[in-house]
Structure 1
Amino acid sequence: MATRSSRVAATAATVIVLAGLATACNRGSSAGSAASGKPKIGIDLPRADSDFWNSYAQYIKSGVSSQGLNTLPVTNSQNDVTKLVANVQVFENTGAKAVVMAPQDTGAIASTLDTLAAKKIPVVSVDTRPDKGQVYMVVRADNKAYGTKACEFLGKQLAGKGKVAELQGDLTSINGRDRSEAFASCMKSEFPGIQVIELATNWDGSVASSKLQTTLAQNPDLNGIYMQAGGVFLQPTLALLQQKGLLKPAGQPGHISIVSNDGIPQEFDAIRKGQIDATISQPADLYAKYALYYAESAAEGKTFQPGPTDHNSTIISLPNGLEDQLPAPLVTKDNVDDKSLWGNNVGH
């Protein structure tokens, strides 16, 4: 079930979409004819139950409008690989020259990628790296760095001692695996005095809340939490801690140190209030910007090589394509008001 904040973000996204459509209608025939002359791009949004992905959807809509791209009707696969496959088939049948997707199950999409490759339809995968199947470009941040940064911050906050509950994402997703493996490896090597309690959640906030409640009952001395996705875990986690009388501000006795991943405005607010300590800002704005950039480039037949880019990232070579690894900074109370962070530039 979507949290209240995700419903609000979804509403905001809808308003922006409608506003974008109205703007497009008022541009006159020249913009419309220019877009229609460009190759068609199919875009599938992965889900609407996360504040992070709703923000990404806003950036996609505004980017399509501002760049005058020729896109097929945008679909949303709602975290269902079967829907994603069906949506992609529609793109194939309606003339897509490139496809943007963010497969949440990175193993199950392989056959669809093979089909697209056979039809010479390049694929840009956002945030997730498919395990198999050809991709033109993966637009992603270094998810192992997410786990490592979270571990290093939390380990220092706890002075190397205590118990940490880790709200893991879907372990069939490379992002969930990368974050979990890196966090575990870092904790084992750098902070052996901290016990990590791994809680698999399938990116589901209600599952996370239920498992965290059980963990708190069994471990009343829990003093740290790592949330692999603030967009789905933040609100249920804070609500549970509030209900249990455990939501103590940072710096006060009994405070549970919390580090998150995503960089949504709600996390920034929680940092300012001392409810959580840090998050790693996953660049929703850059994900959308470069997804559209690479999709248009792919449709036009352009190619890229591994190495540094002109936008502070590095393209690496994969067995099945290329990946542009975008920067993802750690955000704490010291830099939470930095205007360059996308979470400070979108509505709640």
Structure 2
Amino acid sequence: MHYRKPRATVAGAAAGAVLVAGTLTGCSGHSSGAGARDAGAAIGVDLPRDDSDFWKSYAQYLKAGVAEQGLDSVQITESHNDDAQLKSNLQKFEKDHVKAVAIAPQSTQNTEALFFDLFSHRINAVSVDTEPEHGEVYMVVRADNVAYGTKACEFLGKQLGGKGKVAELQGALSSINGYERSRGFATCMKKQFPGIQVIELATDWKGDVASAKLQSTLAANPDLKGVYMQAGGVFLQPTLTLLQQKGLLKPAGQSGHIAIVSNDGIPQELDAIRRGDIDATVSQPADLYAKYALYYAQAAAENKSFHTGPTDHDSTIISLPNGMEDRLPAPLVTKDNVDDKTLWGNHIVK
């Protein structure tokens, strides 16, 4: 399968939007712009979906951050994974004259019109978790999704000793996250573990689709040795339920155990690692996504600027063709570090 990333175009530059290049004072000590924070700066935040435990956790952290910081000017909407609803929510922000928005476009190839419209209203945009492929963006807040796939591949490949069959529950390949995770996984498998056969199952981030396709795969491949779930928030429960029904849910270390690696780092995944139901997950930092979504949205409202390089919060800001991206850390979690108190999944309310 070919995974492509179209080159982003730079739309809306004439609107006078500020492109970022680094880190804020208080974050890494390098910034320029409006100086003191404008307490009246209005910020719009859209919550992208509520069908995933990961995004429910993100919403919890974000709302808590708004309350803790007393950000009375923050408006919050929900788009429920609906592009039309997202567009409508952004139009509301425009009418309310917000100065910046923090959003998470799910269809990353269809963002040029959205971002051009925002910039035509002189609104800077922060994109959380997803990297818009078209249209200027003030800052992207996310982790390295290619690395997600690579980490999953390396762990799973070693667990299987470089041999056997693995089912890959892919996200939506129209989403940058879906095809970057898939590309990282495929590239690593081809290079490091050529003896492993990868069975790619596109799911569009839907748990019921993943379960149905995995069931068919198990019927055709009773010797399946591993599963890579690109989103534990939607795939974990359907996968474990199916394996239990088939009598295939055996704890790690026991004969017949199917090795499972996931992405997200939700509390349910950490509990599954403790039980031995799954072997590992890559912890996507929901807490840091929320923290820095608000952080950069406030900076965007003040037209502050940034430069590339390391930050003081364990990340690196890189340059994109259409803006910049703060790449946050996303550690691999196994039985060896599952109880680490720094993991967000160990301290959020379930």
Q: Tell me, what secondary structure is at the counterpart of 1:195?
A: strand
Would you say the 8 A contact 1:39–1:70 is kept in 2? no
Question: Which residue type is aligned with residue 275 of structure 2?
Answer: K
**Is 1:81 aligned with 2:83?**
yes
Query: Residue 261 of structure 1 is aligned with which of 241, 263, 280?
Result: 263
Residue 340 (structure 1) aligns with:
342
Residue 32 (structure 1) aligns with:
none
Residue 67 (structure 2) aligns with:
65
Deviation of 1:68 after TM superposition, in Å, equals: 1.5
Residue 207 (structure 1) aligns with:
209
Deviation of 1:38 after TM superposition, in Å, equals: 2.2
**Is 1:329 aligned with 2:331?**
yes
Residue 136 (structure 2) aligns with:
134
Query: Residue 251 of structure 2 is aligned with which of 249, 268, 271?
Result: 249
Distance 2:145 2:38 in 1: 37
Question: Which residue type is aligned with residue 85 of structure 1?
Answer: K
Deviation of 1:75 after TM superposition, in Å, equals: 1.0
Residue 182 (structure 1) aligns with:
184
Deviation of 1:347 after TM superposition, in Å, equals: 1.6
Deviation of 1:339 after TM superposition, in Å, equals: 0.2
Give the percent of matched residue pairs that are identical in Structure 1 and Structure 2: 70
Would you say the 8 A contact 2:66–2:74 is kept in 1? no
Deviation of 1:36 after TM superposition, in Å, equals: 9.8
Distance 1:54 1:144 in 2: 23
Cα 1:250–1:133 shift into 2, 3 Å: same
Question: Which residue type is aligned with residue 327 of structure 1?
Answer: P
Residue 26 (structure 2) aligns with:
none
Deviation of 1:98 after TM superposition, in Å, equals: 0.3
Of 102-111 and 205-214, deviating more is: 102-111
Would you say the 8 A contact 1:64–1:71 is kept in 2? no
Distance 1:47 1:104 in 2: 9
Distance 2:109 2:40 in 1: 32
Residue 163 (structure 1) aligns with:
165
Would you say the 8 A contact 1:125–1:138 is kept in 2? yes
Instruction: Describe how 1:139-154 pairs up with structure 2 within 5 A.
Output: 139-154=141-156
Gaps of 5+ in 2: 1-36
TM normalised by structure 1 equals 0.89
Which has the larger helix fraction?
1
Question: Which residue type is aligned with residue 62 of structure 2?
Answer: I
Deviation of 1:70 after TM superposition, in Å, equals: 3.4
Would you say the 8 A contact 1:257–1:277 is kept in 2? yes
Query: Residue 221 of structure 2 is aligned with which of 211, 219, 223?
Result: 219
Query: Residue 118 of structure 1 is aligned with which of 117, 120, 144?
Result: 120
Query: Residue 99 of structure 1 is aligned with which of 98, 101, 106?
Result: 101
Deviation of 1:46 after TM superposition, in Å, equals: 0.5
Moved >6 Å (runs of 4+): none
Of 287-296 and 66-75, deviating more is: 66-75
Q: Tell me, what secondary structure is at the counterpart of 2:179?
A: helix
Deviation of 1:109 after TM superposition, in Å, equals: 2.1
Q: Tell me, what secondary structure is at the counterpart of 2:133?
A: coil
TM normalised by structure 2 equals 0.88
Distance 2:72 2:38 in 1: 6
Would you say the 8 A contact 1:206–1:236 is kept in 2? yes
Structure of higher RCO (CA pairs closer than 8 Å, 6+ residues apart):
2
Q: Tell me, what secondary structure is at the counterpart of 1:124?
A: strand
